[in-house]
Structure 1
């Protein structure tokens, strides 16, 4: 009866809540991934300047020197000066290039999210397998303890079943070790999306930190 109760409770207990969140991971990657940052820098370089910046970029001081004086001066030279405004003829081309850069940045971000989501899904599946295996292992250990008690009380016929339980426990231990190693590798793979910030993301995925610093707001 005790084993049945433990098994039923184990079935209905929720798995341990994994600390990290998908949205936080994607947001962090979007802000620190070197490929996305490089694409974003290109987009900003092609961005249309504001009116003040445009005036500074396309306005220059001009001056020229002419021979002969004027009616009011006897100087042999006449100086002409002022501001010269250059109106770029390629503004439409620049706008088109800017639009293309924006599209390229959006595509790079979307591609990165797609790859990251696939790796997130694999890690989630591995973690789910670990949780399920832990539940089965807990049940098997409880049952093994109950069978051992029965054997100590003189029910020697339970010995074969105890060996069977022990074999199943070994199988679960091997599965936990295997999937645990795969999950560890997958966390490293996912963390590498963060470029030089990968240790921060890895610590978050491992549950060593609850936040991603100033990036997950």
Structure 2
């Protein structure tokens, strides 16, 4: 009986998943159905959390399964005005976090110089990378310093962290250094994880401010459209 009720509830949810536009003009399209998650509520929360001027580059969100997810072990990515979000998320918050995270990548083109031009975030990131490299080296996880000090995405370093060291171990090692293991992946992901944390967990911003003060300062400025207009 319970199984029948759950199946009926799931079927109703799938039937409700028709493509829609939000009040800001964002087009939400379902390539494949998303089970057991109220996507309209997720989008409403995103639009209430992220300032409207930081949503301007996103024209469309497509939910579904794409080859890139398997090829690159992703659950979301941004490309050319569109967010591609996996339809296989487990819960509301994972969808919410992924969308906000990818929004951060959408603003890197129009606001890239504002974000990275003064090198303050990059310098902060590389200081942390050097510290991480030294800790791992002493633990006999060794990779050339030149690789660790490359701020751009480097597949060798990514796989080193993900496969050789492991995110479970990294979470302990990086406590108080990076806000998450994924933040150590590259400069862009350092910014993106901070952006997502800033807007999805505003009550915890004091922790972000403590761990990544330069990134936090930049996010404070980014949320103010007048500040951006003056740049």
Q: State TM-score, norm by structure 1.
A: 0.21
Larger relative contact order (C-alpha < 8 A, sep ≥ 6)? 1
* Larger radius of gyration between Structure 1 and Structure 2: 1
Higher helix share: 1
Q: State TM-score, norm by structure 2.
A: 0.21
